[in-house]
Amino acid sequence: MSAGAGATPVSRVFRIVADAELGHGEFGEVPVGAIGSGELLLRASHSSVNYKDALAATGRAQVVRRFPLVGGIDVVGSVVESTDPRFQPGEQVVVTGFGLSEDHDGGYAQWVRVPAEWAVRLPEGLSPWESMALGTGGLTAALALHRLEANGVAPGQGPVAVTGATGGVGGLAIGMLARLGYETVALTRQRDADAYLRSIGADAVERVPTFESSPKPLASARWAGAVDSVGGETLAWLIRTTMRGGSVAAFGNAGGLDLPTSVLPFILRAVNLLGINTGYFDDTLRHRLWTRMATDLRPAHLERVARTIGFDELPRAFAALLEGTVRGRLVVDLA
């Protein structure tokens, strides 16, 4: 095998394999040479747990496009081999998105091979653990804030709402907004989360309201902006309660795929609905957002938002995430 002197010929992996339904996850060992494709071979150190990972591993949704496939949409590791002059052995790189664990072997492996164009050098000031505490969740929150800024939302204009606040992306968004000086309102259904949410930067904590069966198309305007990870009726409520010219960045569907709204918030208040997808987007912006996550967007209390689990704990973590009992982010130690 060609993984460098002293390297292990096989890699422990957690991969999604075919069954009679949508596939399921299981541990195994795979020759390093059979993992992934691309110019960079990485000795991976950490990954993370994301909602899409949990759906794929439990067969809850059609995520994986071919079987078998190594799971994990995030990974950080050290370059062991490179046929691209931009990267040298020993450099630490982060890879998120780009079809990892959808149609390309992902980050739940001790060895990972990826195209060089997908890799981002680990920003100065971030440890490998911190990069995975951020991961796709952090990149999603950072892109949401970037889109809000680009559409005129700024500190001092009014409160910014964050739904799904106890989740990974919500917690990171709160920390980033607080770092930038926004007035941040965390929205949650969990009645025991107030102290936690305030400790990571929320100025106020509110319960998600009970929705009427036939709500008015517009309601009292409250938000200068919003970051929504829920979708469904929650997103519709945010849209009809956003201030004139305000924006809502949306990227989740845990609350449903339907959006029961009308055109009135858009044509009478000029509300902007901003779709956020971090799988594929401008490469220059991707690198810039990683730099910002190490500087002005770095949450002040990252250690409160994320905790570490072992590789063996992945199946339990997937179940807990889908049951809604996980608070914040989970970093996977791949050792």
**pLDDT value of position 6:** 52
How many C-alpha atoms does 204 have within 13 Å on its Cβ side?
11
Is this structure's pTM higher than 0.85?
yes
Q: 10-122+301-333 and 136-275 share one CATH topology?
A: no
List, for the chain, all residue ranges whose pLDDT scores fall below the cut of 50. 1-5
**pLDDT value of position 3:** 47
**pLDDT value of position 210:** 87
User: The domain 136-275 belongs to what CATH superfamily?
Assistant: NAD(P)-binding Rossmann-like Domain (3.40.50.720)
**pLDDT value of position 213:** 78
Tell me the domain boundaries of the chain.
10-122+301-333, 136-275
Fold category of 10-122+301-333 in CATH: Quinone Oxidoreductase; Chain A, domain 1 (3.90.180)
